[in-house]
């Protein structure tokens, strides 16, 4: 069986300034010991303006907490007012970057082609993209979730080699479950996470698919994480709301206990 280290990634969205970020990181560091942080990879995804603060804390105290950004520019540098490049994130020690979150797709019109260039920009800077895919409510009601998510995956991974796909984390986030309190059932999560892995196997071979981590996201809480993690193709979670509360996020990261 493949060893896929569980990954819990906290997407703070547009919450917490750098002082509040400092406090939350201190709380996480005080509540999770070395073994817990080794068993379960713990990552925070703060707003850009917090990254320097998080870097300083993580480096200064040698914390086993990873961090990254919620988005990046598809461009390298230049006249792109307001954008942040992958190289800038890498220079701040980021290990991860979210790509194609449903909120970016919906509010910033990011299509699969843009998401694909962002995945490539992340990889070019040695950042691990956390690629978000997932269907909306209408598609779920028409039972189109597997085909829809597979098409998003194909679009986002277009032109990548197996070696590059290995470095991608995929997050299945059904849009109807994000911030709604409606968690997918563990079986719902498994169905699509399994289909994502099967598609990667089809495109890049079983050995690659066995190593790629697939996360579930959508109203994950301390109360439901264990059942979701018990599914064979779910390797972790992308956590929004619950990642803003230190106690909740700590409990999620301690799901094996
Ligand atoms: C998310 O936006 O990535 C997410 C999973 O949010 P929430 O946990 O709040 O549903």
Cα 219 to ligand 1 centroid, rounded to whole Å: 6
Quick check: is 2 in a domain? no
Quick check: is 76 in a domain? yes
Q: Give the residue whose CA is nearest to atom 4 of ligand 1.
A: 240
Instruction: Output the average pLDDT for the chain.
Output: 96
**Residue 179, pLDDT score:** 84
**Residue 1, pLDDT score:** 45
Dump pLDDT digits (tens) for 141-173: 999 999 999 999 999 999 999 999 999 999 999
Quick check: is 194 in a domain? yes
The answer to whether 44 touches 65, Cβ cutoff 8 Å, is yes
Dump pLDDT digits (tens) for 212-255: 999 999 999 999 999 999 999 999 999 999 999 999 999 999 99
Quick check: is 212 in a domain? yes
Closest ligand 1 atom, CA of 179? 10
Q: Which of 128, 48, 129, 61 is nearest to 92 (CA)?
A: 48
Quick check: is 36 in a domain? yes
Provide the β-strand partners of residue 96.
Answer: 68, 128
Could you give the ipTM of this predicted complex? 0.96
Q: Which of 230, 223, 215, 210 is nearest to 101 (CA)?
A: 215
**Number of separate domains in the chain:** 1
Beta carbon of 10 within 6 Å of any ligand 1 atom? no
Contacts of 241 (CB under 8 A, 6+ apart): 179, 219
CATH number of domain containing 72: 3.20.20.70
Segments forming the whole domain that contains residue 160: 7-253
Quick check: is 1 in a domain? no
Cα 74 to ligand 1 centroid, rounded to whole Å: 23
């Amino acid at each position: 069986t493949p060893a896929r280290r569980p990954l819990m990634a906290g997407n703070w969205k547009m919450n917490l300034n750098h002082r509040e970020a400092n406090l939350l990181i201190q709380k996480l560091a005080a509540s999770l010991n070395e073994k817990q942080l080794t068993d379960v990879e713990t990552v925070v995804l703060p707003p850009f303006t917090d990254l320097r603060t998080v870097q300083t804390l993580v480096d200064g105290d040698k914390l086993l907490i990873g961090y990254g950004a919620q988005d990046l520019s598809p461009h390298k540098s230049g006249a792109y007012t307001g954008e942040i490049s992958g190289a800038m994130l890498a220079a701040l020690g980021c290990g991860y970057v979210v790509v194609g979150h449903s909120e970016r797709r919906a509010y910033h019109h990011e299509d699969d082609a843009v998401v694909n260039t962002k995945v490539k920009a992340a990889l070019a800077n040695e950042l691990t993209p956390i690629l978000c895919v997932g269907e909306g409510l209408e598609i779920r009601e028409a039972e189109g979730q597997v085909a829809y998510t597979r098409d998003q995956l194909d679009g986002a991974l277009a032109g990548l080699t197996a070696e590059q796909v290995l470095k991608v984390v995929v997050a299945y986030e059904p849009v109807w479950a994000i911030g709604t309190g409606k968690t997918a059932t563990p079986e719902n999560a498994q169905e699509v996470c399994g289909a994502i892995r099967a598609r990667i196997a089809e495109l890049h071979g079983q050995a690659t698919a066995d190593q790629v981590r697939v996360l579930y996201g959508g109203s994950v809480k301390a109360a439901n994480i264990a059942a979701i993690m018990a599914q064979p193709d779910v390797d972790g979670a992308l956590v929004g709301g619950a990642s803003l509360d230190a106690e909740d996020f700590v409990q999620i990261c301690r799901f094996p206990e």
